[in-house]
Amino acid sequence: MSLEARAIKRHIPGSPRKMRLVVDQIRGKSVEEALDILHYSPKHASKVCELTLRSAVSNLINAKDGGRVNPENIVVKTITVDGGPAQKRVLPAPMGRAYRVRKRTNHLTIIVSEIE
């Protein structure tokens, strides 16, 4: 039986498509490797992803009785990005028109587990 923990971050500014570019790089990797990838990635989404991953690892350590977990044995089991609510704004356009601007948000869910 492997122990699991999850962390959810909601209403992250930025489109889900841009977040998925970062998330796809760390899916299925060990936590140490994933944190290295995220720490040195230039994308804005990687900072949010790194904080959420650290939260999931902390949740796993707190869920375990003794609290002793070897970080090398923790793996990113599943990681999903779902679209959140979009804020609608209006941008002035030529000839009295208005273009609609959708400021997108996303929800990030990370599940980490300890491998035996």
pLDDT tens digits, one per residue of 46-59: 999 999 999 999 99
Over the stretch 18-43, which tens digit does the pLDDT of each residue have? 999 999 999 999 999 999 999 999 99
Of 78, 72, 63, 85, nearest in space to 10 by CA: 85
Topology adopted by domain 4-114:
Ribosomal Protein L22; Chain A (3.90.470)
Mean pLDDT along residues 12-20: 97
Rounded to an integer, what distance in angstroms lies between the CA atom of residue 75 and that of residue 33?
9
Q: Domain segments of the chain: what residues?
A: 4-114
Q: What is the pLDDT of residue 56?
A: 96
